[in-house]
Amino acid sequence: MMTIPKSRRRSGILGVAAAVSIATLALTACGGPSTDTAGSAVEAGSGEGTIKVWAVDGQAAENDALKKIIANFESSQSKIKVDLKLFPSDQYTKAVNSAAPEDLPDVLDFDGPTLASFVYNGKMAPLKDSVSGETLANQTDSIKSQNTVDDAVYGVGMMNAGLALWGNKKLLDGAGVHYPTTPEEAWTAEEFTGVLDKLATVVPGGKPLDLSEQYGFAGEWGTCCSAGPVIWSGGGTMLKDNKAAGALDSDANVKSLTQFASWKKYTDPNADGLAFTSGRVALSWVGHWTYPTYKALGSDLVSIPLPNFGKGTKTASGTFAWGMGAKSKNGTAAGKFLDHLMSDESVRTYTDANGAPPATKTALAASALYGPGKQLQFLGDQLSKACGTEDRITESCVSVTRPVTAGYPVVTDQVGKAEAAIYAGKDAKEALSAAARAIDQNFADNDGYKK
Partner 1 sequence: MTISRTTTPTTGGGSMKRTRRWQTALHYLILTVVALFFFLPVYYLIVGSFRPSRQVLSGLSGFVPTNLSLDNYVGVFEHLNSDATGYFSQFAVVSIVVTTVVVAGSLIVNSMAAYSFARMKWRGKKVLFLLVIILTIIPFEAVALPLYYMFSGQRDTIVIQAIPFIANAFSIFLFYTFFLDVPGEIEEAARLDGAGPFRTFFQVIIPITKPAFATVAILTFLAQWGSYLWPVLMVSDATVRPLPLAISIFQNQQPPEWGQVLAFGTMFIVPVLAVFLIFQRWFVASISSSAIKG
Partner 2 sequence: MTTQIQPIQRAPIAPRPRPRSKAGLSGHKYAGPLFASPALIGLAIFLVAPFVLAVVLSFYRVQLNSPRPARFIGFEQYTRLFTDPDLSAAFGHALLNNFTFAVIVVPVQTVLALGLAVLVNRKLRGMVIFRTFIFMPLVFPLALTAVIWRLIYSRGDEGLLNAILGFFSGGALSSQDWLGSPSTALGSIIVMSIWQSVSFQMIIVLAALQSVPTELYEAASLDRANKWQQFMNVTVPGIRNTLIFVALITTIFSFRLFDQVYLLSRSGSVDRGSTETVMTQIINTGFDNNNVGQAAAMTVIFMVIITVIAIIQRAAVRQRGGV
Q: Which is nearer to partner 1, 49 or 205 (CB)?
A: 205
Q: Which one of partner 2, partner 1, none interacts with residue 217, CB within 5 to 8 A by kind?
A: partner 2
Q: Which one of partner 1, partner 2, none interacts with residue 18, CB within 5 to 8 A by kind?
A: partner 1
Minimum Å distance from CB 206 to partner 2? 10
Q: Which is nearer to partner 1, 293 or 362 (CB)?
A: 293
Q: Are 375 and 366 in contact (CB under 8 A)?
A: no
In Å, how far from its chain's centre is CA 20? 46
Q: Which is nearer to partner 1, 205 or 246 (CB)?
A: 205
Q: Which is nearer to partner 2, 59 or 132 (CB)?
A: 59
Q: Which one of partner 1, partner 2, none interacts with residue 36, CB within 5 to 8 A by kind?
A: partner 2
Q: Which one of partner 1, partner 2, none interacts with residue 293, CB within 5 to 8 A by kind?
A: partner 1
Q: Which one of partner 1, partner 2, none interacts with residue 191, CB within 5 to 8 A by kind?
A: none
3-state DSSP call for residue 172? Answer: helix
Minimum Å distance from CB 98 to partner 2? 6
Minimum Å distance from CB 36 to partner 2? 7
- Tell me the CA distances in angstroms from 73 to 35, 67, 81, 249, one per residue in order: 36, 10, 8, 48
Residues facing residue 325 across a β-bridge: 124
Which residue, among 356, 334, 358, has the nearest Cα to 344 in the 3D structure? 358
3-state DSSP call for residue 41? Answer: coil
Q: Which one of partner 1, partner 2, none interacts with residue 134, CB within 5 to 8 A by kind?
A: none
Minimum Å distance from CB 396 to partner 1? 33
Question: Residue 419 is inside which H or E element, if any?
Answer: helix 408-423
DSSP characters for 332-358? HHHHHHHHHHTSHHHHHHHHHHH-PPB
The stretches of 114-269 forming alpha helices (DSSP H) are: 115-120, 133-137, 141-146, 169-174, 189-200, 220-221, 228-233, 251-261
Residues that bind partner 1 (CB under 8 A): 1-3, 5, 7-8, 10-11, 14-16, 18-19, 22, 30, 32-33, 55, 57, 59-60, 63, 67, 83-88, 90-91, 94-95, 98-100, 103, 214-215, 271-274, 278, 290, 293
Minimum Å distance from CB 206 to partner 1? 15
Q: Which is nearer to partner 1, 83 or 141 (CB)?
A: 83
Q: Which is nearer to partner 1, 91 or 258 (CB)?
A: 91
DSSP characters for 265-333? GGB---TTS-TTTTTS-SEEEEEGGGHHHHGGGGGGEEEEPPPB-SS---EEE--EEEEEETT-S-HHH
Q: Which one of partner 1, partner 2, none interacts with residue 43, CB within 5 to 8 A by kind?
A: none
Q: Which is nearer to partner 1, 59 or 375 (CB)?
A: 59
Q: Which one of partner 2, partner 1, none interacts with residue 372, CB within 5 to 8 A by kind?
A: none
Report DSSP state, residue 114.
G
Q: Which one of partner 2, partner 1, none interacts with residue 25, CB within 5 to 8 A by kind?
A: partner 2
Q: Which is nearer to partner 2, 131 or 239 (CB)?
A: 239
Report DSSP state, residue 399.
E
Q: Which is nearer to partner 2, 372 or 450 (CB)?
A: 450
Q: Which one of partner 1, partner 2, none interacts with residue 57, CB within 5 to 8 A by kind?
A: partner 1
Which residue, among 56, 65, 54, has the nearest Cα to 347 in the 3D structure? 65
Minimum Å distance from CB 412 to partner 2? 11
Task: Give the amino acid at 119.
Answer: V
Minimum Å distance from CB 228 to partner 2? 15
Minimum Å distance from CB 394 to partner 2? 31
Q: Which is nearer to partner 2, 145 or 267 (CB)?
A: 267
170: left (phi over 0), alpha (psi -120 to 50) or beta: alpha
- Rounded Cα distance between 183 and 206, Å, is 27
Residues that bind partner 2 (CB under 8 A): 1-4, 9, 11, 19, 22-27, 29-30, 32-33, 35-38, 90, 94, 97-101, 120-122, 205, 207, 213-214, 216-219, 268-269, 271-272, 409-410, 413, 417, 420-421, 423-426, 434, 437-438, 441-442, 445-446
Q: Are 339 and 140 in contact (CB under 8 A)?
A: no
Which residue, among 182, 64, 146, 192, has the nearest Cα to 322 in the 3D structure? 146
Q: Are 158 and 354 in contact (CB under 8 A)?
A: no
- Rounded Cα distance between 370 and 357, Å, is 7
C-alpha count within 13 angstroms, C-beta hemisphere, residue 9: 5
